[in-house]
Structure 1
């Protein structure tokens, strides 16, 4: 899947369910809990 399709998918799923969809989709890419926590915090501040 091309990057723009992934970005489009993430944007659509996040706008429908901003609390957990994006962090859930991306969670396998984050190794450390600190990074994950910072990402979720940043995501919630954007909503």
Structure 2
């Protein structure tokens, strides 16, 4: 499992920047990263969760 920390995607309110965390398995990481980029989010970090 991996934790992806994302900053400010377009589904957030335009007046504030929030961080969102996603927990995904290794097999689903690429589609999740593509969804984040399509939503306009910026990936801050990806860390492995044991």
Same topology, TM > 0.5 = no
Alignment TM-score, normalising by the size of structure 1: 0.36
Q: Which has the higher helix share?
A: 1
Q: Which has the higher strand share?
A: 2
Alignment TM-score, normalising by the size of structure 2: 0.35
User: Looking at both structures, which has the greater relative contact order when contacts are Cα pairs under 8 Å and sequence separation is at least 6?
Assistant: 2
